[in-house]
Every structure is written in C-alpha cells, then in structure tokens.
Amino acid sequence: MSKVFIAAAIAAVSLVAQAVSEQTVLWKSGDCGIKSYRIPALCTAPNGDLVAVCDARTNHAGDLNTVQPINISCRRSTDGGATWSDPVNTWTWHWGDDAKWAGSDPSLIVDSKAKKIFLFYNVWECVKQHGVYQFYVQESSDNGLTWSKPRDISKDIAFPGWPFGAKNGFIFLTSGSGTQTKDGTLLHTVVHVGDGNALFGSEDHGKTWKAFGSPVRCGDECKVVELSDGSWMINSRWRGGGRQIHVTKDRGRTWESRYDAALTDPQCNAQIMRYPLACARPGKTLKPGMPESVLVFSNCNASGRRNLFVRTSWDNGATWTEGVCVEPAGAAYSDMTILPGGKLGVLFEGAGYSTIRFCTLEPREFLAR
C-alpha cells in the first residue's frame, strides 16, 4: 500500500543518512543573558502561523529540580519558519526571599475545533515544596500572540495511587506536544518517574481537565497518538535501548504493552504524530485503498543523544521505515508539526544543549522508504 502511494503520488527517493542542510537557530546559549535554552515544543496555530516555545534556563542547563530561575520563552513565525519574532516570556519566574517559582517543560496542544492553542508546563516553588510540581496551562485564542493567565490544573488531573502533592513524588507533564483526537478530545501525558505513564485531557475544549482511565507501568517521558482504529498509543522512553509502547482501546481503562527494540533510543524524549497523506498532495484525492494517514516519529536513533532521525510507519507502529537524518551530530529532545502546504517542521535541541534549531522536511523525504 505504501509503495503504491510512493510510486504514484510522491515519487520515491532513496534515503541516505545525511543531515538536512538548512537549519535556523531560534535560541542560543548566552542570548538575552540566558545560559541555556532547552526543551522545545512546536505547533502550527489555527491560522497557519508557527509557535515555538522552550525553557529559558538562567544559570545552567540543569532541570527544574536544580533550583534556578526558568522562564518559558516563545517565538512565532508567520511565513513558515523563514523568519521569527523576537522571544517573549509566557511564564516569568518569581524569585523572592520566601518563595522561588520556576516553570519548565513546555508542551502544546492545538484545538482545531475551538481555534485555540493550549500551553502546559510544570511549575515548582522550590523553597517550601521540595520536589512537588504543579501543572499549569495557558491558552491563546489569537494564534499565540497573547496568552491567558496561568491556571493550576494539578488537582484536576491527579490519579489515585500516585503520590500527587507528596514530597519527592516526581510527577510531571511531558514536554513537546499532545494531540487532539478525531472526536475533539484534547489528550496529553503525565509521567511518574520510575513508575509509568498516564493520560489526561479535556472533552470540552479546555474548560475542564481530567484524568483518563488508569496509569500503566513502565514508562518515562512519552507522547500519545491516536491510531487509525481510534485506539490511543503511548510511545515512551525507557531502558534497554528501545521504546516502550502502550495501547488502550477504552480511553485508558485497560492497556496492552510491548517493548519496541527496533526503535533505537538513548532514553531521550521524542515525538510521535499522525501525518494525513492528503497533506502531501494538497487538493488531490488519494487513490482507493490508501491509508488516510501514517505515523511519523522523531528521536535520536543512536545509543547516545545524537543522530536525530524522522521515521514513518504505515501500519500503526508495527514497523518503521529507515527514515531520514535531520542532524547526525549532537541532538536531543525534538518536536514536529505539519506546515501549511504539507512540509514537516522539526524543532530540536542541538549539540551540548547550546542551541534550539528549526528545519523543514519535504513529504518526499520522510514518506519515502
């Protein structure tokens, strides 16, 4: 099925492990007095603009629990990533004598039905709370130009049995992007480090947020995607050099799990999403029998944080193409979005966490086998 599509619609190309040459640096260590920019998230706004966010880590590259001021920085592009606005903070740290608030690990969900963007991140008051993260969300109704006041949804999405609000519970929202399912549900992931993954979301376009089903064991930073049959799949970093996979057909109440050793991974956050094949040929009709969409996955295809690849699955994640190399040298966390016209936008951390970079892939590059 995929070979027919490639031959008839995309014109197959032979993939080789070479880097995408044109990359734009959106954030660089030292800019604006910030020592390190990390944890990218990317989306295409309802009007087609691009919105990119990341951590602005003031003192060093360390995570939220290392007690330092961290902002959430945002840039926008109105021309498909050719140019970008100056960075602005959607969240700004608060650093006083009796309270030290920092925010980290941004993630985005676009509600295509309500024409809104939701921005999530973890917040920590690190003087009194000692490892207890709170979960905040902001929303934008003007394609990322302005954002609502941060809203605490920590209690709304708590799962019984997980130590929410407990000292050193180490529960956090995954950075990158969540998803919207065909029925309009906004869907995202939460992680209990060393224990597993769980799902939360909204069925009313962000008015309320809630936990879905039950947590599943074995998982770390992860992403969720809807499969062609309507089931939901979590793809998670885990031990052993591969990825942990969890699938639910009943909105998280029960799970089927497996380990995918074919998806080589160095225990690093990745991204998985659906790519509608109609995006590859705007205005054209797919041939009968072709799938409506494929899965696209970005991660470091190596034993260490380097060799960033984008791979495609035509069978709901059972098998994967060899893929295309975005960056053979140092790389880490990544996120993706579909640009107007069908290109794939990729936002990723560069070598040594010194930059956050953006590039695009043509459909023929990541769909070919």
DSSP assignments along 330-360, one per residue: EEEEEEEEEPTTSPEEEEEEEGGG-EEEEEE
How far apart CA 186 and CA 178 sit, in angstroms, is: 8
What is d(CA 139, CA 364) in angstroms, rounded to the nearest whole number?
34
| Amino acid in the structure at residue 334 | S
Could you read off the pLDDT tens digit of each residue along the chain, which spans 369 residues?
333 333 333 333 333 345 566 899 999 999 999 999 999 999 999 999 999 999 999 999 999 988 899 999 999 999 999 999 999 999 999 887 778 899 999 999 999 999 999 999 999 987 777 668 999 999 999 999 999 999 999 999 999 889 888 876 889 999 999 999 999 999 999 999 888 999 999 999 999 999 999 999 999 999 999 999 999 999 999 999 999 999 999 999 999 999 999 999 999 999 999 999 999 877 677 777 788 999 999 999 999 999 999 999 999 999 999 999 999 999 999 999 999 999 999 999 999 999 999 999 999 999 976
- Sheet containing strand 344-350, edge to edge, reads 24-28, 355-361, 344-350, 324-338, 306-313, 293-300, 271-276
- CA distance linking residue 136 with residue 154, whole number of Å: 7
Give the per-residue pLDDT at 81.
97
**CA nearest neighbour of 194 among 224, 223, 165, 215:** 215
Query: What DSSP element (H or E) covers 230?
Result: none
3-state class of 18 per DSSP?
coil
The residue ranges of every structural domain in the chain are 2-367
CA-CA distance, 348 to 268, in Å (whole number)? Answer: 12
Residue 253 has a CB neighbour count (10 Å cut-off) of 10
pLDDT of residue 130: 67
CB 71 within 8 A of CB 91: yes
Q: Where do we find the tokens 């059972």?
A: 318
Predicted local distance difference test score (pLDDT) of residue 20: 62
- What is the fold, at CATH topology level, of the domain defined by 2-367? Neuraminidase (2.120.10)
Rg (CA), the chain: 19
Both tokens of 140, joined, read 């934008």
Residue 369: predicted pLDDT: 66
